[in-house]
């Protein structure tokens, strides 16, 4: 297979088997003992190059189990109607293959295709597919007309399979695919989980998005947090979804190399609207700090206090909806050179924001990621064994250390 890299953040500077006949999903009622929760998500953050008619198979991991799933697709950044047909979901068998005997065709108001208006999203009817917690699903779709501006989540850290000109969405395995690592159109997998299951949304930037984690490894820190929760009997009914966007900021939209609408502007859609929401963990602000030295527009010249004030707005909006919101301290970055070298001024702002997070008593709880990852002998720098080598993003061990820093006992009391 050939790798086709269709998206990078610089563009902003720039279902399991094909039966002899596919099993059509009916909009089965959800058992009264179930509740819909967010099982997986990827926040839309950009567009890719135009697509010809193509089948796309993508792999996701649900953080909780249940009896049925719903799929949500977005045309948020498209300027023309988007037609999806032959949308399938199945258990993933590895590579581009699905598990024999469980392919399901997703319907939309009882129909096997759907047109999504520009700027809009749609959810499928419930698909009766039992899934276990931490199960990997393959979601396949065919675009009969292609897409001029495909809505993406740029940093998928997960292989997607693309086959042009053919509808092979229902096949048990696909070959000859081009591969990419972005998320196409698919933004949410909701799960009809056991009653009492609730959702935790983690929102942040590239560290939460899992930049530098192992490809196809589910090694982002929210993934490791989901692993911990599923390993804790009292916590097995907590769904964890990742609303991180690489390059994202609390206060301002876009502005190369900063990606996506700001958290203030996307908070309702990407966080507060998620079904079953009970907790939020916010881990963000470092890109606001670096942008204040890299970008020249006055609005980008933000102080530590402005970042704190933005966090206060997010706290107020979460509390107004009855949701608990925790915060993680910002990681050390000394030695980082991208998007520009870490400076003394940037470090002073990071320390000021972290001091407020620790002592301001504004959040419902805190997670001291800074303490968990810093080098005791050089506190402004990440411990070498926990860093990927770029002085900004942890490696898999670092991401696991972040997840291990979350006080689950206290969190579950909230």
Structure tokens at 190: 């909701």
258 found inside a domain: yes
Residues 171 and 206 in one domain: no
93 found inside a domain: yes
Residues 79 and 47 in one domain: yes
Structure tokens at 392: 């900004």
Judge if the upstream peptide bond of residue 160 is cis by omega within 30 degrees of 0.
no
Question: What's residue 221's pLDDT?
Answer: 98
Residues 7 and 112 in one domain: yes
Residues 182 and 203 in one domain: no
Question: What's residue 30's pLDDT?
Answer: 65
Residues 306 and 177 in one domain: no
Question: What's residue 338's pLDDT?
Answer: 87
Question: What's residue 29's pLDDT?
Answer: 57
144 found inside a domain: yes
Question: What's residue 31's pLDDT?
Answer: 67
183 found inside a domain: yes
What mean pLDDT comes out for the span 115-125?
98
Single out the residue in 189, 204, 223 at which a domain terminates: 189
Domain, as residue range, for 172: 2-25+36-189
Q: Is the pLDDT of residue 2 over 70?
A: no
Question: What's residue 85's pLDDT?
Answer: 95
Give the 3-state secondary structure of residue 223: helix
- Is residue 164 within 8 A of residue 52, CB to CB? The reply is yes
Residues 97 and 216 in one domain: no
Residues 170 and 98 in one domain: yes
Residues 147 and 273 in one domain: no
- Is residue 208 within 8 A of residue 221, CB to CB? The reply is yes
How far is the C-alpha of 245 from the C-alpha of 147, rounded, in Å? 22
Calculate the average pLDDT of the chain.
92
Residues 49 and 174 in one domain: yes
What mean pLDDT comes out for the span 182-200?
97
What mean pLDDT comes out for the span 192-200?
96
Among residues 94, 84, 87, 56, the alpha carbon closest in space to that of 177 is found at 56
Single out the residue in 135, 155, 189 at which a domain terminates: 189
Cβ burial of 7 (10 Å; 0-12, 13-18, 19+) is buried
pLDDT tier at 10, thresholds 50, 70, 90: very low
Question: For 219-246, how does the pLDDT look when each residue is reduced to its tens digit (9 = 90+)?
Answer: 999 999 999 999 987 777 999 999 999 9
What DSSP assignment string belongs to 114-160?
Answer: EEE-TT-EEEPPPB---B-TT-EEEEEEEETT-BSS-EEES---S-E
Q: Is the pLDDT of residue 94 over 50?
A: yes
31 found inside a domain: no
- Is residue 394 within 8 A of residue 331, CB to CB? The reply is yes
Residues 173 and 280 in one domain: no
- Residue 360's CB: how many other CB atoms inside 10 A? 15
What mean pLDDT comes out for the span 255-283?
96
Question: For 12-71, how does the pLDDT look when each residue is reduced to its tens digit (9 = 90+)?
Answer: 333 222 222 333 333 445 667 899 999 999 999 999 999 999 999 999 999 999 999 999
Single out the residue in 134, 159, 189 at which a domain terminates: 189
How far is the C-alpha of 174 from the C-alpha of 33, rounded, in Å? 37
Count: domains in the chain: 2
How far is the C-alpha of 112 from the C-alpha of 124, rounded, in Å? 10
For residue 21, what is the DSSP state? S
CATH of the domain at 347: 3.40.50.1110
Give 10 or 132, the one with higher predicted confidence: 132
Residues 232 and 292 in one domain: yes
User: Considering the entire predicted model, what is its pTM?
Assistant: 0.92
156 found inside a domain: yes
Q: Which residues contact 331 (CB under 8 A, 6 or more apart)?
A: 207, 286, 369, 370, 373, 374, 382, 392, 394
Please work out, in degrees rounded to the nearest 5, the angle formed at the alpha carbon of residue 271 by the alpha carbons of 268 and 276.
115
391 found inside a domain: yes
Residues 305 and 403 in one domain: yes
377 found inside a domain: yes
Q: Which residues contact 32 (CB under 8 A, 6 or more apart)?
A: none
- Residue 269's CB: how many other CB atoms inside 10 A? 17
Question: What's residue 86's pLDDT?
Answer: 96
Question: For 318-356, how does the pLDDT look when each residue is reduced to its tens digit (9 = 90+)?
Answer: 999 999 999 999 999 999 998 889 999 999 999 999 999
Q: Which of 9-13, 280-284, 406-410 is least confident?
A: 9-13
């Amino acid at each position: 297979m050939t790798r086709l890299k269709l998206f990078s953040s610089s563009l902003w500077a720039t279902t399991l088997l094909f039966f002899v006949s596919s099993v059509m999903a009916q909009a089965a009622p959800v058992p009264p003992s179930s509740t819909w929760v967010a099982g997986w998500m990827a926040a839309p953050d950009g567009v890719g190059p135009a697509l010809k008619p193509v089948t796309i198979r993508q792999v996701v991991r649900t953080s909780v189990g249940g009896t049925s799933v719903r799929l949500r697709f977005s045309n948020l950044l498209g300027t023309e109607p988007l037609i999806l047909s032959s949308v399938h979901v199945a258990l993933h068998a590895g590579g581009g293959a699905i598990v024999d005997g469980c392919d399901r065709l997703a319907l939309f108001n009882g129909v096997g295709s759907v047109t999504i208006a520009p700027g809009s999203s749609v959810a499928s009817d419930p698909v009766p597919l039992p899934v276990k917690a931490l199960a990997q699903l393959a979601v396949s779709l065919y675009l009969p007309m292609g897409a001029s501006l495909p809505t993406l989540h740029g940093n998928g850290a997960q292989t997607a399979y693309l086959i042009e000109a053919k509808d092979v969405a229902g096949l048990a395995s696909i070959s000859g695919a081009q591969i990419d690592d972005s998320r196409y159109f698919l933004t949410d997998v909701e799960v009809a989980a056991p009653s009492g299951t609730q959702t935790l949304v983690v929102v942040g930037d590239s560290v939460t998005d899992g930049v530098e984690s192992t490809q196809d490894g589910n090694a982002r820190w929210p993934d490791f947090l989901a692993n911990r929760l599923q390993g804790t009997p009292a916590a097995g009914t907590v769904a964890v979804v990742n609303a991180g966007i690489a390059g994202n900021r609390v206060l301002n939209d876009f502005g190369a190399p900063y990606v996506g609408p700001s958290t203030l502007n996307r908070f309702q859609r990407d966080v507060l609207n998620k079904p079953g929401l009970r907790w939020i963990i916010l881990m963000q602000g470092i890109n606001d700090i670096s942008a204040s030295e890299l970008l020249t527009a006055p609005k980008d010249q933000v102080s530590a206090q402005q970042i704190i004030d933005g966090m206060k707005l997010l706290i107020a909006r979460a509390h107004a909806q009855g949701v608990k919101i925790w915060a993680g301290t910002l990681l050390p970055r000394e030695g980082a050179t991208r998007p520009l070298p870490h400076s003394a001024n940037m470090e002073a702002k990071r320390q000021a924001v972290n001091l407020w997070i620790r002592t301001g008593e504004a959040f419902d709880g805190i997670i001291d990621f800074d303490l968990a990852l810093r080098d005791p002998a050089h506190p402004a720098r990440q411990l070498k064994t926990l860093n990927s080598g770029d002085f900004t993003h942890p490696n898999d061990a670092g991401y696991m250390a972040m997840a291990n820093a979350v006080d689950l006992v206290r969190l579950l009391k909230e």
